[in-house]
Amino acid sequence: MDGLVERNVEAAKEDPRSLDEVMQEIAEHKGCGTKGGSGKASCGTGAGQGDMPAEIWEKVKNHPCYSEEAHHHYARMHVAVAPACNIQCNYCNRKYDCANESRPGVVSEKLTPEQAAKKVLAVASTIPQMTVLGIAGPGDPLANPAKTFKTFELISQTAPDIKLCLSTNGLALPEHVDTIQKFNVDHVTITINMVDPEIGAKIYPWIFYNHRRIEGVEAARILSEHQLRGLEMLTERGILCKINSVMIPGINDKHLVEVNKAVKSRGAFLHNIMPLISAPEHGTVFGLTGQRGPTAQELKALQDDCEGEMNMMRHCRQCRADAVGLLGEDRSSEFTTDKIMQMDVKYDLDTRKAYQEKVEGERQAKVEAKQAELATMAGEMSDIKILVAVATKGSGRINEHFGHAKEFQIYELSTSGAKFVGHRRVDLYCQGGFGDEASLETVIRAINDCAAVFVAKIGGCPKNDLLKAGIEPVDQYAMEFIEQSAISYFKDYLQRVKSGEIEHVTRGDADIRQGALINA
């Protein structure tokens, strides 16, 4: 083992091998393959090292949810130790427990703190880029304080390099802030959907507080008060706070600008506005009343409106409370309780460090490539902005086949560069080598607002259909860095517009996909 670690430390310094190769070597040594493993991560700010104080950068640089840039490289996991909840939300239905559902509040099995600690070690040993452990439910972590804090205690003893975070509705937050600080939890996410109790009454039918079930405006007033006070208490203690808000068209969509101001003024670090997930088969109140979620452009417009105020998170995958892996992938089925209890786990800090050093090298190369490319665009003057979709498996590269992509990452290109603005889930288009026309239509609807789609490879048929839909398939940047390639493409796009070779057209809207993952 020691020999491998030494070699990997050296590798991190100057070995030209790719991350995948290093990963494969580690995996082979551990007797497991990485096939289908190296993938996407995602959740957070797009700001880089230069844009924030050093101590904050230290906290977010390898947190996939708090840093958009980190989400290409680092993975997170949630352990489902907190099943109980103290409020009811109209977008949540606790009766459902389906393995194919990918949304918060859903898990396949709940864990005891001891099982959770074992699972964290098993995952961290298999996935060296796993840097963050979150407790996000499936209920509310602070409605299960004993289980939540016991889990943190066990993990901080056995895996001290893993960052701890939790996600709460905020009702019980003020009474637990000191304990949160004691356990070195330095990232807390609060879901705040409103600061106006009248609006809150349309989202929350009741809360359970002081041994009573409280309904209506009064319930929303108490909840809001606790959320904002809890936020203030956390930021006073230097704990980073992310605010999640569910965008519900017609109920709180316009109001979220007010929420954004309220949380910004109380020191929140990042605001994550997520689309409502709502379908009748979920059995939620909103699903049954036919409340719709926002379109891709409605969501983006609101995120853009709030961005002047603070960092917006656009890479959230609204993951399950037992998700494992990079954001955008889910490897939880590899780590069921039965499997982890049979695993002989050895926590190897050195291998993890070696791997992560290699990741840092790749990241630096990516940033340098982007800056060099951006410098060549200096002097370009144009108001044109376009969106492009990217098929990627992670590491910030265009390295996924069009037909294998489960999602596309969306970048907005302008003369100021390439900016990550979101992602779109799609059905798997390629099913065992045979393209499926119906799911190609789904893909086109999901990226209909994009001018181009960047892929590592694409077949002839989908290429023609994309062109017909006005989306240019681009495979010339296969395996290259995303942002560098996008800037290069955009320069060329402007040239082509100038020369009259192509006409710049405003694209339409796109769908946000609802429902279960088929083939998760």
Partner 1 sequence: MAYKIVASQCTSCSACEAECPNVAISEKNGTFVINPKKCTECIGHFDIPQCVAVCPVDDTCIIDTSYPRYQAPA
Contact residues for partner 1, defined by CB under 8 A:
83-86, 88, 94-95, 97, 110, 138-139, 143-144, 208, 211-213
CB of 282 to partner 1, least distance (A): 14
DSSP letter for each residue of 343-410: ------HHHHHHHHHHHHHHHHHHHHHHHHHHHTTTT------EEEEE---BTTB---BGGG-SEEEE
- How far is the C-alpha of 444 from the C-alpha of 127, rounded, in Å? 33
* Cβ closest to partner 1, residue 205 vs residue 459: 205
- How far is the C-alpha of 481 from the C-alpha of 69, rounded, in Å? 12
* Cβ closest to partner 1, residue 97 vs residue 357: 97
Could you identify the residue written with the tokens 């990452």?
A: 409
Give the DSSP H or E segment for 314: none
Non-local (6+) Cβ contacts of 363 within 8 A are: 69, 73, 396
CB of 180 to partner 1, least distance (A): 19
CB of 204 to partner 1, least distance (A): 12
* Cβ closest to partner 1, residue 87 vs residue 190: 87
Rg (CA), the chain: 22
* Residue 397 dihedral angles phi and psi, to the nearest 5°: -115, 155
CB of 188 to partner 1, least distance (A): 21
In 3D, which of 140, 222, 227, 220 has the Cα closest to residue 192? Answer: 227
Q: Where are the alpha helices (DSSP H) in 378-499?
A: 437-446, 460-468, 482-498
CB of 147 to partner 1, least distance (A): 9
Give the DSSP H or E segment for 4: helix 2-14
* Cβ closest to partner 1, residue 143 vs residue 510: 143
Are 480 and 488 contacting, i.e. CB atoms less than 8 angstroms apart?
Answer: no
* Cβ closest to partner 1, residue 143 vs residue 413: 143
CB of 175 to partner 1, least distance (A): 15
The four Cα atoms 414, 419, 422, 424 give a dihedral, to 10 degrees, of 60
* Cβ closest to partner 1, residue 184 vs residue 289: 289
* Cβ closest to partner 1, residue 138 vs residue 141: 138
* Cβ closest to partner 1, residue 95 vs residue 468: 95
* Cβ closest to partner 1, residue 89 vs residue 456: 89
DSSP letter for each residue of 149-165: HHHHHHHHHH-TTSEEE
CB of 28 to partner 1, least distance (A): 39
- How far is the C-alpha of 380 from the C-alpha of 361, rounded, in Å? 31
* Cβ closest to partner 1, residue 112 vs residue 181: 112
3-state secondary structure of 325: strand
CB of 455 to partner 1, least distance (A): 42
CB of 400 to partner 1, least distance (A): 37
Q: Where are the alpha helices (DSSP H) in 99-215?
A: 113-126, 145-158, 173-182, 197-200
CB of 206 to partner 1, least distance (A): 9
Question: What's the maximum distance between 2 C-alpha atoms anywhere in the chain?
Answer: 71
